[in-house]
Structure 1
């Protein structure tokens, strides 16, 4: 899978700039908080899949719920890619483990590596593996784009209504 990102970077930058202006913040001043936010959103997505909840018979949340949480992670990945001035038009997926629990643990490792080595190589590895998880969940690039666009619109609305 390849996700077209050049236009998404523009949309994310618009949202980021709106937030920075509204709260008198800067891109540089929020970088570490956005890296942590990526980890938090990853956890929220994992929670909706319920892949680790061996003690429960309840299945995963419906696909739209998982995709909404997944899109939150895309927001922060795009925002961090803007920090790095990523020139990519597309990000290619990297195959994720068939075992979702292992895949998510690997994703956490990649996010932490990316935090420690804040560069394009680690960024692409992190983003690519995140796309691989989406594939493992049965989602397409179109699904991801659709839910990112919906969430971006919702986030603009939240800013307009002082969320």
Structure 2
């Protein structure tokens, strides 16, 4: 996993948000900490393993969405004509992957909407990663050589908590960043525990990196659209 590249990409996104929203000079660290805690809770909600009261405790790992869908990444298209309403897969739409793809080739009368497949659990996980990177950049703790080495060693040697306790541990570590005497080792602990969580959720480092790149692009698109 190229952490250095992700730190840099996150800084570009954060700098853009700060400039476009007029946030220069503001202390945004409390917002980043709370945002991380919220995203951790949303990730746990998609994991669902703590919901002993529910018959549905399987992680949500597949969902079709229009958010961030393009002709290039779409898995299927839907015609918006009530009388047509055809769902057409990407292979059938290959000839439409150009600026004029919008019209349904079946009825030739209505626009089509692109849908992409997403992994809600993975997307919430990388949303957490966005804010972890932002916190590191904000505090100047983006020494990737140190972080890489400690993370790898931790994952090799440490079994750690079960998944539910790992979520709770991360929420607790995140809260600690509100204190002025927080140390860099706390940030490294956040990273190691976070990647331990990713391993427990079944994610590979390459998968996490690819999902981060995709979501980073979506976040830039959202800024462009006035999100």
Scaled by the length of structure 2, what TM-score is found? Answer: 0.66
Alpha-carbon distance in 2 for matches of 1:43, 1:27: 29
After TM superposition, the structure 1 = structure 2 runs for residues 94-133 of structure 1, keeping only pairs within 5 Å, are: 94=154, 95=158, 97=160, 99-116=162-179, 117-133=181-197
Q: Which has the higher contact order (CA 8 A, sep 6+)?
A: 1
Residue 76 of structure 1 is matched in structure 2 by 131
SS of structure 1 residue aligned to 2:207: helix
Alignment correspondent of 1:9:
7
Greater C-alpha Rg? 2
Indicate how the Cα distance of structure 1 residues 49 and 96 shifts in structure 2: closer, same or farther if over 3 A, else same: farther
Partner of 2:209: 145
Match of 2:67 in 1: none
1:88 matched residue in structure 2 = 144
Query: Where does residue 109 of structure 2 map in the other structure?
Result: none
Larger displacement relative to structure 2 (58-67 or 124-133): 58-67
Give the RMSD, CA atoms, in angstroms. 1.8
- CA 1:27–1:118 in structure 2 vs 1: closer, same or farther (change >3 Å)? farther
Which digits, 9 at most, give the CA deviation of each residue in 1:39-83, with x for residues without a partner? 000000000000111111112101621110000000000011111
Deviates more, 1:54-63 or 1:14-23: 54-63
| Structure 1 stretches of 4+ moved >3 Å | 93-98
Q: Which structure features the higher share of helix residues?
A: 1
Give the aligned partner of residue 105 of structure 2. Answer: none
Aligned to 2:120: 65
Deviation of 1:161 (Å): 0.3
Count of matched residue pairs = 161
In structure 2, stretches of 5+ residues that fail to align are: 63-118
Segments of structure 1 that go 5 or more residues without pairing to the other structure are none
1:29 Cα deviation (Å)?
1.9
The TM-score, its normalising length taken from structure 1, stands at 0.90
State the shift of 1:99 in Å: 2.1
Residue 27 of structure 2 aligns to a residue in which SS? helix
Is this contact kept in 2: 1:35–1:115, CA < 8 A?
yes
